[in-house]
Amino acid sequence: MNTLIFSLLIFGTSLLAGLLGALTGLGGGVVIVPALVLLFKVDLRYAIGASLVSVIATSSGATAAYVREGLSNIRIGMFLEVATTLGALLGAYLTAKVSSHSIAITFGIVLLYSAYSSLRRTSEDAGTAQPDPIAVKLKLQGSYMGPDSVVQYSSQHVPLGFGMMFCAGTLSGLLGIGSGAVKVLAMDHAMKLPFKVSTTTSNFMIGVTAAASAGIYLFRGYIDPGIAMPVMLGVLAGSLMGSSLLVKARVATLKVIFSLVIVALAIEMIFSGLTGKI
C-alpha cells in the first residue's frame, strides 16, 4: 500500500468518525483510535496523538454551528473546563507510566460505556427542575429555541458534575478521546441539562480538553504529521456535516448503528490488549 492510498483510507475513515462523533457528542476519537490501531496497525500512542489533533478539529468544526444556533452554553462549558483540563494533564502524564496493554483494555471498557451512554434515552425537558443555588450564583443557566417555543434550563448538582468532568478529562488525556460520553452523562444526567445542550456543549469542551494534553504528546514525539493530517482533515469535514444534521434531524437510528460499531471495536481492543497484540 503506497502513501497516497494509505492517506486516503485514513481520511475516509476519519470522515465517518467525525460525522458520528459530532452527531452523538462522543467525539470522533472513540472510532478513530481503534480504527488506526486495528485496521491500519498504527502504534497505539501515535494513534492517540493523531486522535487528540482530530478531537480539536471536531470541536472547532461543530462548535461554530452550535453556537450560531444558540445550543452550546459557553459559560457552563468554560466553568466545567477547569475540571476537565486538570484531568487531561493528569491523563497525559499517566500515558508514559501505563503499558499499552492496559491502555487498550481501558479504552475498550470506555468504548463499551460510550455505546451504552449513546443508547440511553434522555429527556428534552431535563432543565425544568428547580435551579441549584451554586448554579444561580455562577449563572449556569440558559435557553434555546425548541420545536415550538423557547426552552429555559438551569444546571443541577453542580459539584457532582464538576467531579465527573475531572474524570472525563483524565480519560481524554490518557486515551486520546474527547471522553464525550462521560461529559454528556455529567451534563445530561447529573446536571439535568437538556440533551441537545449537553451534546453541543460537550462538542465545544472536548477541543479545549484535548488541547491541554496534546502539547504533552507533541513534546514526547507521539504526534506524526503523516498520520495526524489526514485524520484531522477527515474528522473536520465529518464534524461539519454532522453538526448540520444534528440541528435538523433526529438521530436515534444512527445512534444504534454507532453503538453496534463501538461494541465491536471495544471487544477487539479488549481482546488485543489481553492477548498482548497491542
Helices (H), the chain: 3-24, 29-38, 44-68, 74-95, 100-119, 133-138, 158-175, 180-185, 195-219, 225-248, 252-275
Question: By CB neighbour count within 10 A (0-12 exposed, 13-18 middle, 19+ buried), where does 42 fall?
Answer: buried
* CA-CA-CA-CA torsion sign (51, 85, 173, 71): negative
- C-alpha to C-alpha distance for 189 and 33, rounded to whole angstroms: 27
In the prediction, which pLDDT does 253 show?
67
In the prediction, which pLDDT does 123 show?
47
- C-alpha to C-alpha distance for 106 and 34, rounded to whole angstroms: 12
What are the sequence ranges of the domains in the chain?
3-275
Run means of pLDDT, 10 residues per run, the chain, 278 residues: 87 87 68 86 89 78 71 88 88 82 83 74 51 85 79 88 88 72 75 81 78 83 91 86 69 68 80 80
Structural element, H or E, at residue 141: strand 141-145
Question: Is residue 192 classed as helix, strand or coil in its secondary structure?
Answer: coil
Show Cβ contacts of residue 168 under 8 Å, excluding neighbours closer than 6 positions.
Answer: 84, 87, 179, 182, 183, 186, 209
In the prediction, which pLDDT does 180 show?
65
In the prediction, which pLDDT does 203 show?
74
Residue type, 100: S
